Amino acid sequence: MRSRNGNHYFSRRLCSIILFYSLTLSASEYLISYRYIVKDAILYNESLMISHAMKKCSGTSYKPLQLENNGSKNLSQIITLNHEIFINYIHKLGLDVQHNEETINAQNKSTTILTLKTQCFKVDFNDNFAKITPLK
C-alpha cells in the first residue's frame, strides 16, 4: 500500500499497530478445573488446575468475577491471592457432588468429592483487576 506522497512505510506501520492492538485487547482463555475431597470430615485433597486454552472456546458469557490484581498477568498467582473469593464463586457456578457413606462394625466412613469439570474461562487482565468470565 503506497500513499500519494510515496510514504508507504507509514501506512504499513499504521496497519501493524491496529493489528497488534486488536490482538492484545482480546481476552485470554483458560481451562480451569477444581476438585475437593473430604474423607471422614477432614480435608483430604484440594486441587485447582489452570491451563491456557489451546483453541478458541465457544459459548455464552456468564456473570463475571473481578479479582484484585497488582499488575500481574499470571492467573494462578491472582487466584492464589484471592483464593476464598474464587472458590466461593466456583461453588455458585455448580459443582458435581459425589457422596459415599458406609458403616462397618459401628465405624462410619464417608467420602465427599466436589468437582468442577474442566470449563473454559475468558480472562481480561488490567492493572487493578482481572475479570474472569466463565463460558457456558
Sequence-ordered strand ranges (E) for the chain: 28-39, 42-52, 65-68, 96-104, 107-125, 129-134
pTM flag (> 0.85):
no
Q: Which residues contact 132 (CB under 8 A, 6 or more apart)?
A: 64, 65, 66, 67, 86, 89, 121, 122, 123
Average pLDDT over residues 117-128: 89
Q: How is the chain split into domains, by residue range?
A: 27-134
CA distance 28 to 103: 48
Residue type, 47: S
For 44, the grid coordinates are 483430604
* Residue-wise pLDDT tens digits, 54-81: 888 888 888 999 998 887 888 989 998 8
